[in-house]
Amino acid sequence: MSEGSKRAASRISEGRDPKLKQAGVSGYNKAKRTPGHPKKSHVVVAKEGGQTKLIRFGQQGVKTNQTAGQREAFKSRHAKNIKRGKMSAAYWADKVKWSSSKTKSPSKKWKKGS
């Protein structure tokens, strides 16, 4: 199968997956904010191998990743779950909400409740 036909087949299969339509995402492993959801702030349809899973993650209305200290605390607290890979909510929270590029302050001081 050529590379172009593989991509076309991939697009067709993605379009037919009801989980993608239900979540309102453009494709597999692409996180999207869900401001209308009552509890969770993001959604993603994770795909690893032939397995797919709808994952909601992140607490709605909470400021995260304000300081480098907060980021380090999150990563150490959830390290085991992050290692589980794409099929865990912690992996996606780490990737989307806690990436170092989104840190607002380089301070190591951890501010509770901010």
pLDDT tens digit sequence for 36-55: 999 999 999 999 999 999 99
Nearest to 23 by CA among 48, 49, 52: 52
Q: Which of 2-6, 34-38, 56-60 has the lowest mean pLDDT?
A: 2-6
80 Ramachandran zone, left/alpha/beta (phi>0; psi -120 to 50): alpha
CA distance linking residue 33 with residue 96, whole number of Å: 10
Split at pLDDT 50, 70, 90, the class of 18 is: confident
The pLDDT assigned to 12 comes to 45
Burial label, 70 (beta-carbon count in 10 A; 0-12, 13-18, 19+) = buried
Contacts of 6 (CB under 8 A, 6+ apart): none
